Amino acid sequence: MYGVTGVLGIEGGYKGFYARNTIPLTPKVVNDIHKRVGTILGTSRGGHDTSKIVDSIQDRGINQVYIIGGDGTQKGASVIFEEIRRRGLKVAVVGIPKTIDNDIPVIDKSFGFDTAVEEAQRAISAAHVESESIENGIGLVKLMGRHSGFIAMYATLASRDVDCCLIPESPFYLEGPGGLFEYIGKRLNENAHMVIVVAEGAGQELLSGNTCTMDNIDASGNKQLQDVGFWISQKIKDHFSEKQKLTINLKYIDPTYMICAVPSNASDNVYCTLLAHSAIHGAMARYTGFTVGSVNGKHSCIPFQRITERQNKVVITDRMWARCLSSTNQPSNQVKKPFD
């Protein structure tokens, strides 16, 4: 439609601009990629050397750059856009929001989120089956979500099998009146089984030795988290065997990477097509420095600045979290005492 003669794929994330060869993306090469899992281009963390990246764009005579990824990737795209502008180059830079975490602000959702929620439900369903089959069964499922508990909240709402959903945005504690243990005891007493969903970033402040130093950040600068699922499983087992003298049967399911590694569902496939169309039409209309996405159902081009200034998080005073709490029946924890 626009008479484009060549599309190049950059392999292995930002460092691929200067450390790898490009691969031609012909219609034949990309024909079936929506049915495949993962990425044909590969990915990486770190390696954002702005100057080398823009040199490579300039040297290769690239005039449109489409950058696919999460919140870190969009920040990287914004920095590239600024450098291109500083050098006075006629190169469009467009961001495409792809992350299961849904932590990119402004847009209704990121590509991958819907699929992740659907897959997370399967793990929750397994946890429910396991917990229901045995006296005092507890199914505990850990889901992705470093800073944002969207996958946990939506999978909880979708499945309706969850009794307790723990997310990074909503602090909790274990011991004493109003604590998680008390709530678990109550649910087991009432129902003889329960399902707990925990997002990977939840309760990190409770895990001992969780000091944030330069040693425990990844190459992109993201804080590396401790395994809250494993930790909480141990804590629950210890508490009920030692303090309550109650035999519980806890099954811990960690489907996190399995959820990342499934083909996108129909809804995400359609969304991805619309994102691609917005990105191309925007760049061809000579816009630059924007991320595409649906905003209140309208496909839009959003300036990088609006996308990178904050992270999308669950607002625990909003209705969606209230709906989640009403589906689990867990106590509201917006005030001082989490499980009051």
Ligand X SMILES: Nc1ncnc2c1ncn2[C@@H]1O[C@H](COP(=O)(O)OP(=O)(O)O)[C@@H](O)[C@H]1O
For ligand FBP, the binding residues (CB under 6 A) are 70, 72, 99-101, 144-146, 200, 218, 222
Retrieve residue 251's tokens. 């099954």
Indicate the pairing of strand 22-24 with strand 8-10. Answer: antiparallel
Taking a C-beta distance cutoff of 8 angstroms, is the pair 271, 114 a contact? yes
Written as one string, the DSSP assignment of 1-18 is -------EEEPSSTTHHH
47 binds ligand X (CB under 6 A): yes
Q: Is 182 helix (H, G, I), strand (E, B) or coil?
A: helix
Amino acid at the residue 299:
H
State the nearest-atom distance from the C-beta of 100 to ligand FBP, in Å.
Answer: 5
Query: Of 77, 100, 98, which is closest to residue 283 (Cα–Cα)?
Result: 77
Stretch in the footprint of ligand X (CB under 6 A) among 45-53, 179-187, 232-240, 245-253 = 45-53
Residue 47 interacting entry, from ligand FBP, ligand X, none, C-beta within 5 to 8 Å by type: ligand X
- Contact partner, 100, from ligand X, ligand FBP, none, Cβ < 5-8 Å per class: ligand FBP
Q: Is residue 14 at the binding interface for ligand X, with CB under 6 A as the rule?
A: yes
Q: Are 127 and 109 in contact (CB under 8 A)?
A: no
Q: Is 13 in the site for ligand X (CB under 6 A)?
A: yes
Could you tell me the two tokens for 27? 């219609």
**Radius of gyration over alpha carbons of the chain, in Å?**
22
Query: What does the DSSP 8-state code read for residue 201?
Result: T
Answer with the entry of ligand FBP, ligand X, none that 169 interacts with (C-beta below 5 to 8 A by kind). Answer: none
**From the CB of 222, what's the least distance to ligand X, in Å?**
5
Separation in Å, CA 216 to CA 23, 99, 146, 225, 232: 34, 22, 14, 8, 21
Q: Minimum distance between the CB of residue 79 and ligand X, rounded to whole angstroms?
A: 5
Closest separation between CB of residue 68 and ligand X, Å? Answer: 9
Residue 328 in contact with residue 149, Cβ under 8 Å?
no
Which residue among the candidates 49, 55, 71, 101 is catalytic per the annotation? Answer: 101
Number of residues that bind ligand X (CB under 6 A): 17
Report which residue type is found at 212. C
Task: Give residues 92-131 in contact with ligand X (rule: CB under 6 A).
Answer: 99
Q: Which is nearer to ligand FBP, 54 or 144 (CB)?
A: 144
Pairwise CA distance, residues 47 & 10, whole Å:
13
Residue nearest to ligand FBP (CB): 70
- Could you tell me how many residues make up the chain? 340
Active site residue 101: yes
Four-residue CA torsion sign, 151, 157, 161, 163:
positive
N-terminal to C-terminal alpha carbon distance within the chain: 60
Tell me how far apart the alpha carbons of residues 222 and 200 are, in angstroms, rounded to a whole number.
13
Q: Which is nearer to ligand FBP, 218 or 238 (CB)?
A: 218
Residue 230 beta carbon to ligand FBP: minimum distance, rounded to whole angstroms: 15
Contact 202, 164 (CB under 8 A): no
Site string for ligand X, 60-79 (x = CB under 6 A): ---------xxxxx-xx--x
Q: What's the min distance (Å) between Cβ of 144 and ligand X?
A: 11
Q: With respect to ligand X, which residue has the nearer C-beta, 260 or 320?
A: 260
Question: Three-state DSSP class for 97?
Answer: strand
Site for ligand X in 176-235 (CB under 6 A): 220, 222
Residue nearest ligand X by beta-carbon distance = 72
Residue nearer to ligand FBP on the CB measure, 100 or 196:
100
Q: Where along the sequence are the contacts to ligand X (CB under 6 A)? A: 13-14, 45-48, 69-73, 75-76, 79, 99, 220, 222
- Indicate which residues carry an active-site annotation: 101
